[in-house]
Amino acid sequence: MTTFIARRVLLSLPVLLGVLFATFALGRLIPGDPCRAILGEKATDVVCDEFIHRHGLDKPIPTQFVRYVGEVAQGDFGRSFRFSKPVTALMVERLPITIELSLCALVISIVVGLPLGVISAVRHNSWVDVFTMLWANTGISMPVFWLGLMLAYVFALALKGTPFALPPSGRLSPGILTTPYWEVWGMQLTEGTFLYAISDFVGRLNVLNAILSGNWPMLWDAVKHLILPAVALSTIPMALIARMARSAMLEVLGQDYIRTARAKGMTRYSVIMKHAFRNALLPLVTVIGLSLGGLLGGAVLTETVFNLSGVGRILYEAITARDYGIVQGFTVVIAIFFIVLNLIVDISYAYLDPRIRLD
């Protein structure tokens, strides 16, 4: 297993380098002047020349790329033109929002989509199957921004004043106490250290921070704020998981060993869950892993509708402003997430199917 993991990690390095190069090159090939995109159209040539020289944009692109790769290898993703602060500091601020939202959306997708797909396969060609697939096709086709607006209208306006009302935007209500967990624990952390950065990152995950600090009013308020955006974001992966679960289960349920298990008198639950479902997990693991990666990089519409300042919004704003540091840094981090998720999927394959470990 160690050799298997090491081989997958080594194969991921060229992919990461390719992402670095493609992001770096495309950012500079896109038409537009970063100086005037940030400082405005009235910026003079002298000001723009000074801006370009200060940020090293006057050097040859190969030189810039080699320098950038060296900085990334040391954990330095550069500085933002717009915010005049390190990109790593912006990552600590913005990534927790998207990670929290994406994980909640993925949990909803799995909890709802997986059972529906299995039930649809077991009740093949019944009204349950037809209804589930109709719902899945609707979920894939429905625009996320439209669904988000409709959810906000129904639960924030139409149901306002009822027990079912939910907040339409933001992460926490005004006045909610948000003490970081390490302060509650009495930890003394020095700003600028690696431990402080990690603790600060974890502390910005509101749900986890509330649990670690025992702040139950904050936990309830954070969960209420997450429900609407997570449901809106989960519709597409939920439908994909349901359809894939149905397809994989139908294929497995037609195998000879399933008929043998039934002929031996095994209960229906044992046949479905212990024999069919476990052997149908391989394609489902792939879909779930890729869905999480897609949620991390594609939540821009959901974050915009629900006023969440996460990765999607800052990437969109950075692209329009030609803020190379943010675009490159966040793209590389998202690529690393994809690589790690693919590695986890590969390890899951090897665990679920021992034949893969022997190849």
Q: What is the CATH number of the domain that holds 313?
A: 1.10.3720.10
Residue 297 has pLDDT above 70, yes or no: no
Tell whether 99 and 58 lie within a shared domain.
Answer: no
Quick check: is 263 in a domain? yes
Tell whether 112 and 240 lie within a shared domain.
Answer: yes
For the stretch 37-58, pLDDT in tens is: 666 666 677 777 777 777 777 7
Quick check: is 185 in a domain? no
For the stretch 202-241, pLDDT in tens is: 888 889 989 998 888 889 999 999 999 999 888 888 888 9
Quick check: is 203 in a domain? no
Contact (Cβ atoms closer than 8 angstroms) between residue 189 and residue 195: yes
For the stretch 335-353, pLDDT in tens is: 888 888 878 877 777 777 6
Strand partners of residue 79: 86
Tell whether 115 and 229 lie within a shared domain.
Answer: yes
Tell whether 25 and 161 lie within a shared domain.
Answer: no
Tell whether 97 and 64 lie within a shared domain.
Answer: no
Nearest to 90 by CA among 300, 320, 313, 295: 313
The count of residues in the chain is 359
Tell whether 124 and 250 lie within a shared domain.
Answer: yes
Say how many domains are in the chain.
Answer: 2
Decide which of 73, 95, 127 is a domain's last residue.
73
Tokens standing for residue 94: 């913005």
What distance in Å separates the CA atoms of residue 235 and residue 138, rounded to the nearest whole number?
A: 9
Tell whether 159 and 258 lie within a shared domain.
Answer: yes
What distance in Å separates the CA atoms of residue 123 and residue 70, rounded to the nearest whole number?
A: 56
For the stretch 155-170, pLDDT in tens is: 888 888 888 888 888 8
For the stretch 2-12, pLDDT in tens is: 776 777 778 77
Residue 61 has pLDDT above 70, yes or no: yes
What distance in Å separates the CA atoms of residue 11 and residue 9, rounded to the nearest whole number?
A: 5
pLDDT of residue 290: 79
Tell whether 7 and 30 lie within a shared domain.
Answer: yes
Decide which of 38, 73, 108 is a domain's last residue.
73
Name the residue with higher pLDDT: 349 or 36. Answer: 349
Contact (Cβ atoms closer than 8 angstroms) between residue 172 and residue 221: yes
Residue-wise DSSP of 97-161:
HHHHHHHHHHHHHHHHHHHHHHHHHHTTTSHHHHHHHHHHHHHHHS-HHHHHHHHHIIIIIITTT
Quick check: is 208 in a domain? no
CA–chain centroid gap for 167, Å, is 22
Contact (Cβ atoms closer than 8 angstroms) between residue 156 and residue 166: yes
Tell whether 25 and 167 lie within a shared domain.
Answer: no
CA–chain centroid gap for 356, Å, is 28
Residue-wise DSSP of 286-321:
HHHHHHHHHHHHS-HHHHHHTT--SHHHHHHHHHHT
pLDDT of residue 51: 73
Quick check: is 280 in a domain? yes
Residue 112 lies in domain: 87-177+215-358
- Residue with structure tokens 């095994």? 266
Quick check: is 129 in a domain? yes
Quick check: is 276 in a domain? yes
pLDDT of residue 32: 66
For the stretch 317-326, pLDDT in tens is: 787 777 777 8
Tell whether 62 and 37 lie within a shared domain.
Answer: yes
Decide which of 73, 101, 119 is a domain's last residue.
73
3-state secondary structure 175-243: CCCCCCHHHHCCCCCCCCCHHHHHHHHHHCCHHHHHHHHCCHHHHHHHHHHHHHHHHHHHHHHHHHHHH
Tell whether 167 and 47 lie within a shared domain.
Answer: no
Quick check: is 199 in a domain? no
pLDDT band at residue 354 under the 50/70/90 scheme: low
Contact (Cβ atoms closer than 8 angstroms) between residue 329 and residue 23: no
For the stretch 99-142, pLDDT in tens is: 888 889 989 999 998 888 888 888 888 888 888 888 888 878 88
Strand partners of residue 86: 79
Tell whether 68 and 104 lie within a shared domain.
Answer: no
Instruction: Report the predicted TM-score, pTM, of the whole model to 2 decimal places.
Output: 0.83
